[in-house]
Amino acid sequence: MNHYLSIALVFSFSLFTTCAFVFFISGAYLLLFKINDVNKAFKHPYLSEQPFGKYPLGIRMAILLDYFLHMMFPKSRIWLAGHANLLLAHVDTKKIPWNLKWPIAGLWAGCFIGMLAMMVLWAIILSGAAK
């Protein structure tokens, strides 16, 4: 069994590292080059109050999370995805070009999958199987 845990350790670390790279590359590309185009395409209701750059980082990331949840779960009516769909009901994600979707998907998918990989990694390390 120890052999399988060492393979799982290597796999979870590799997955975590890959997700971190995807998260940072997608986030940097999105925030440096595509954020204005993305905001014009999605037209989040919060942006009618003030520009994207005036919001604190937490609210800016929440807006991007709304975009991600609306793209990934367009028919959901519960929890965060339901709220994102309520806010972005006017957006048809099929009409939004792929070059605006992939940085958002990479940013948040890298974050969520990376968190799962990190939890598995820590569980293996703390179980003492990584001797």
* Burial grade of 90 (CB within 10 A; 0-12, 13-18, 19 or more): exposed
Q: What is the pTM of this model?
A: 0.89
The answer to whether residue 33 is domain-embedded is yes
State the amino acid at position 77 in one-letter form.
R
pLDDT for res 131: 59
pLDDT for res 1: 57
The answer to whether residue 131 is domain-embedded is no
- Number of domains present in the structure of the chain: 1
The answer to whether residue 115 is domain-embedded is yes
Residues 6+ apart with CB under 8 A from 107: 23, 26, 27, 30, 64, 68
From first to last of the 131 residues of the chain, give the pLDDT tens digit. Answer: 588 888 999 999 999 999 999 999 999 999 999 999 999 999 999 999 999 999 999 999 999 999 999 999 999 999 999 999 999 999 999 999 999 999 999 999 999 999 999 999 999 888 875 55
The answer to whether residue 57 is domain-embedded is yes
The answer to whether residue 71 is domain-embedded is yes
The answer to whether residue 79 is domain-embedded is yes
- Asked whether the CA dihedral 122, 126, 128, 131 is positive or negative, the reply is positive
The answer to whether residue 99 is domain-embedded is yes
